[in-house]
Chain A
Amino acid sequence: MLIKTIFSGFGGQGVIMMGYLLATAGMIEGKNVTCLPSYGAEVRGGTANCTVVVSSEEIASPVASEPEYAVLMNNPSLIRFQNQVQSGGTVFLNSSLIEDRPIRGDLVIYEVPLNDLIKQLSENRGANVVMLGAFIKKSGLVTPETMIRVLKDTFSGKNPAVFKSNRSALMLGYEYLK
């Protein structure tokens, strides 16, 4: 098993954090992981992305030329990555911001209206973690229990409330996709 995922969106939408959380959860579950964020001039001017590989074997390259999954948070990301996803791969779309749809017919598409969903959260934020919840539900790459543990390790240091709101966001996304 070797699964590659690209997370992409505007800088500030938390795509690097999504990659970090997924890779950490994979690590905790004893899998091999790599996480390669975009950097430098590439991220100036808006679009950031992050590639995560989760594997039962040693990972040769952290670069994903043909990812199984793409998690796309804005329209430029859809334009850039829709044709890179493997045939039969899966795309998660932030349907609140992305009006277009992939023209390919060989992809599984999940639409997640993040802006509407986060209105159900107390602080109206955490769209990236909502999306991550939806992503782990359908990809099954890591369990929600592991991801909750990662959220706890990552966010409860400063303020326990931050962890709790992230946990709510995760479960909101997890339960949104049936």
Chain B
Amino acid sequence: MKKVFGRPKSLKATPFHYCPGCGHSIIHRLIGEVIDEMNLQEKIIGVPPAGCAVLAYNYFDIDMGEASHGRAAAVATGFKRVLPDRIVFTYQGDGDMAAIGTAESIHAAARGENITTIFVNNGVYGMTGGQMAPTTILGQNTTTSPRGRKEKTEGFPINLSEMLAIARGSSYIERTAVNTPANILKTKKAIAKAFRLQMQGYGFTLVEILSACPTNWKMDPVKSSKWIDEVMTSHFPLGVLKDNSGDKKDAH
């Protein structure tokens, strides 16, 4: 019998610990598939974050070096400058990337550091228990914005990808989601494109992925997926924010 679906070989045979409906498992799998398809397992280095994906090295069968909270872009810079012919990516959540690591993220993009960032935006600090994130949208309840985020007191959420698109050193930035089969396929293509552009030396590439956190959103997985479409995307619109590659629009 022909096997038509299996575990990517760049993922270990370890079951994910993530909650039901969490986007991390899907995103891990997509990255694994892209690594396999582009034959990168022997030349890619991942930098996992502090956050829910901190244990990513238990799942990826590739070299991985942990970064402390927010510093992944700096650690990846160190890797890439020593090993310029390897593919280096960071895997970061919204708190990691857009709060504590804002400086590292912006300056890696501004330098045009030839690395790829997978930016998983679920609007909360998942691992620490659902506190307000820099990307928590107005009105959203979290454990540290229990009355809903208000601009007067908690301030506005940050659209970091749009900011990074302004940086001259960034080459490709796209925001996708993993809430529907179509969006999942688009996400995979975006990840593959980002890695390809890195291999071609385009400089900083980033894929922001809107991802559900049913546990901390206090919604079931189906409702979470709908909430991404109905609410989250109005604050964080999907699509290509920047593309210097010369590819045709939306071509991957």
Q: Do chains A and B touch in the complex (CB under 8 A)?
A: no
List the interface of chain A (C-beta within 8 A of B): none
